[in-house]
């Protein structure tokens, strides 16, 4: 029970960032990823870093969690950064070997790309660390709502999303149980050649499918018994409420954008 990782690794808390409306946080994260491309010199990147740093401090979540967020992507980041460094030509060239060039511009560009990765990861990690997956799905539903006009089944999408989120821990548990049962019957997951590894997935996937279908069927029966007949005429229990702090957050993003536009070269 205790080892269960909540999907998206939400860390409960009561900080200012935690209390922000999920819509604010979702929009901010998306907005941040757009405006980061406005930055093109040291001062703009520093402003962004300062902004993210402030948000991290305000969230009162240990920096270790953010660094953990980078770890799985570290090879991708390094690969991109090295490519950038080695293949950017410029005026001040330190070293050249065939197509490989080491220039001042390359180094600076590499540094910027690295910053961009780190800041984006920090910002999206901040979103998932401080927002319950459920609230996030509420926010998505709210933001998708205008699409209902063009016949997008927003209610169904939202329900699917929230049920999927609710079942993530259950299915993770189930996966672990089935893996254990098959390992006890002599299967080695993650060992042997590719063919053997592919073969070893079958005894895991089939039981998972079977049990998921059973679950889905039972869940559907239970929902029907509880009077579920589609989105029509339904009321909603969960409500989102926009506060002054949310308005302020959006304003601060406006200020940040203006700053970036002024300072970029």
Q: Can residue 90 be called a binding residue for other proteins (CB under 8 A)?
A: no
How far apart are the C-alpha atoms of 80 and 75, rounded to whole Å? 9
Runs of H (alpha helix) within 131-243: 133-144, 154-184, 194-225
The interface region with other proteins, picked from 13-21, 51-59, 141-149, 174-182 by CB under 8 A, is 174-182
Pick the closer one to other proteins by CB: 96 or 199.
199
Q: Can residue 173 be called a binding residue for other proteins (CB under 8 A)?
A: yes
Instruction: Count residues binding other proteins (CB under 8 A).
Output: 58
Query: Burial, 123: exposed, middle or buried (Cβ in 10 Å; 0-12, 13-18, 19+)?
Result: buried
Please give the C-alpha separations between residue 125 and each of 29, 58, 109, 240, in angstroms, as whole numbers.
Answer: 10, 14, 24, 22
In angstroms, the first-to-last Cα distance of the chain is 53
* Lookup: tokens for 94: 């330190």
Q: Can residue 234 be called a binding residue for other proteins (CB under 8 A)?
A: yes
The interface region with other proteins, picked from 21-29, 77-85, 175-183, 254-262 by CB under 8 A, is 175-183
Are 130 and 13 within 8 A, CB to CB? Answer: yes
Ramachandran region, residue 186 (left: φ > 0; alpha: ψ -120 to 50; beta: rest):
left
What residues between 112 and 171 interact with other proteins by CB under 8 A? 133-134, 162-163, 165-166, 169-170
Residue selected from 184, 190, 195, 241 as contacting other proteins according to rule CB under 8 A: 184
Residue selected from 47, 80, 124, 211 as contacting other proteins according to rule CB under 8 A: 211
Are 104 and 94 within 8 A, CB to CB? Answer: yes
Q: Considering the complex, what minimum distance in angstroms separates the CB of residue 227 from other proteins?
A: 4
Q: Can residue 175 be called a binding residue for other proteins (CB under 8 A)?
A: no
Q: Can residue 188 be called a binding residue for other proteins (CB under 8 A)?
A: yes
Instruction: Kindly state the greatest CA–CA separation across the chain.
Output: 73
Chain residues binding other proteins by CB under 8 A are 1-6, 9, 62, 64-65, 68, 133-134, 162-163, 165-166, 169-170, 173-174, 177-178, 180-188, 202-203, 206-207, 210-211, 214-215, 218-219, 221-229, 233-239
């Amino acid at each position: 029970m205790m080892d269960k990782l909540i999907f998206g690794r939400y860390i409960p808390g009561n900080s200012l960032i935690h209390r922000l409306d999920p819509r604010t946080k979702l929009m901010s994260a998306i907005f941040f990823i757009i405006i980061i491309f406005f930055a093109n010199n040291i001062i703009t990147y520093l402003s962004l870093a300062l902004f993210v740093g402030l948000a991290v401090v305000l969230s009162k979540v240990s920096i270790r969690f953010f660094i953990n967020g980078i770890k799985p992507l570290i090879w991708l980041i390094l690969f991109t950064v090295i490519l950038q460094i080695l293949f950017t030509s410029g005026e001040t060239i330190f070293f050249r070997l065939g197509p490989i060039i080491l220039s001042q511009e390359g180094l600076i560009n590499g540094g910027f790309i690295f910053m961009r990765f780190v800041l984006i990861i920090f910002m999206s990690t901040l979103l998932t660390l401080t927002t319950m997956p459920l609230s996030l799905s509420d926010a998505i539903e709210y933001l998708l709502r205008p699409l209902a006009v063009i016949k997008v089944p927003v209610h169904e999408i939202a329900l699917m999303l929230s049920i999927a989120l609710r079942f993530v821990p259950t299915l993770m548990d189930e996966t672990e149980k089935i893996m254990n049962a098959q390992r006890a019957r002599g299967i080695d997951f993650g060992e042997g050649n590719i063919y053997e590894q592919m073969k070893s997935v079958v005894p895991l996937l089939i039981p998972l499918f079977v049990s998921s279908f059973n679950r889905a069927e039972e869940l559907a029966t239970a929902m029907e018994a509880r009077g579920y007949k589609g989105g029509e005429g339904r009321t909603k229990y969960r409500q989102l409420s926009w506060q002054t702090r949310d308005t302020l957050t959006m304003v601060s993003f406006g200020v940040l954008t203006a700053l970036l536009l002024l300072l970029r070269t």
